[in-house]
Homo-oligomer: A and B are copies of this chain.
Amino acid sequence: MQGTVEDVDVPSASDVLRRCRELVRPALVDAVGRLHPWTGEMAAYSLGWSDTAGTPEPGGSEGKGVRQALALLGAEAVGADAACAVPGAVAVELVHTFSLLHDDVMDADALRRRRPAVWKAYGTGPAVLAGDALLARAVTGLAETPGHHVAAAVRRLCGALNDLVAGQAEDLRFEHRPWDGPGAVGPEEYRSMAEGKTGALLGCALALGAVLGGAPEPTVAALDRAGRHLGLAFQAVDDILGIWGDPATTGKPVHADLHRGKKTHPVLAALAGGSRAARELGTLLASARPTDAAAAERVASLVEEAGGRAATRGEARRHLDAARDALRATPLTRTAARELDVLFAGLADRVM
């Protein structure tokens, strides 16, 4: 039986992700194999390859691998072979895993992809160490790749790393800022935090593929910009899921962000609305952090009533459009551009 023309022409987002994971997998397995056996075990656990006893759990809790896919598609989009971007794909995937490990420690998030976070499963110190090992391995693997474009790729990766850490610093600091008044977090500050925390590495993934594929600087910059917008859309979606997401799907407790007093887009947008619900929300948040389920439920309702959820959905859509526009305005090979578009659009399905 043959597939339809549509099947052949436009693979689904999950097809694209699967193809890329399969291309990157051997190099990723090799990179993890170069770690100290103990940190390697924690890395394999956090990548969803095995359980805490080190027993393989193929595909069980594996991430989608969006970043590694972006790196390969970034190369293909500039007419290069995906293979040249594999070292970049491995690097961004390891940096992503490093950041999940350390962020879970900093945010005291006990669950990750429906399983205990690494610090819960192995202890805080070991989780810090495993993150360090992943970060060191990420930069090393890229720096040791032969080729003319590697030095530029390492600089790109380093730039993203600095942005990522600065974004996480902002996010943590925001928790100590008031919801209202002169010390409140403004929209520009929120955006800068989200771009660092989530956009920098997605932009870097696409850009790394293009750099390793030998693309000229304007193309690299356009892909980086597209990835950063994608990241801002991603973060908006994450903020929605952090309040209204189903724990069975998100793998995280319900209302987690509300209990922690995270300065997320829906709440900030709701407070900026000025409606009766916004004022009630402001009063409620100013008095105390919601500590029980009923209080969090009340906050979530008010955020929705004050338009916070709709505003954040709009924010996600705007950044997704900007990301797709940035791609369309760049001369890219047709197949990869379509696959990127499918991948970008697939994100929207998560909440819209």
Contact = CB atoms under 8 A, between A and B. Distances in A.
Nearest to A106: B125
Interface stretch (A131-139, A223-231, A267-275, A338-346): A131-139
Contacts of A129: 102, 106, 165, 168-169, 172
A45 to B, nearest CB: 15
Given A106-B125, A107-B125, A125-B172, A133 B36 contact: no
Contact of A128 (B35, B39, B105, B159): B105
Interface in A100-116: 102, 105-108
Contact of A172 (B102, B126, B131): B126
B161 A136 contact: yes
Given A102-B129, A124-B105, A173 B136 contact: no
Contacts of A125: 105-108, 172
Nearest to A154: B143
B36 A170 contact: yes
Nearest to A105: B128
Contacts of A168: 129, 132
B169 A140 contact: no
A139 B135 CA distance: 11
Contacts of A170: 36
A151 interface: yes
A128 B132 CA distance: 10
A260 to B, nearest CB: 12
Q: Which of A107, A165, A168, A170 is most buried by chain B, counting CB atoms within 10 A of its CB?
A: A165
B132 A135 contact: yes
A150 interface: yes
Nearest to A151: B151
A165 B166 CA distance: 23
Given A106-B126, A129-B169, A139-B139, 6 more contacts: A102-B128, A106-B128, A124-B124, A131-B132, A136-B161, A143-B155
Interface of A: 34-36, 38-39, 102, 105-108, 124-126, 128-129, 131-133, 135-137, 139-140, 143-144, 150-151, 154-155, 158-159, 161-162, 164-166, 168-170, 172-173
13 contacts: A35-B166, A36-B166, A102-B132, A107-B125, A108-B125, A129-B168, A129-B169, A133-B165, A136-B162, A139-B139, A139-B158, A143-B154, A144-B155
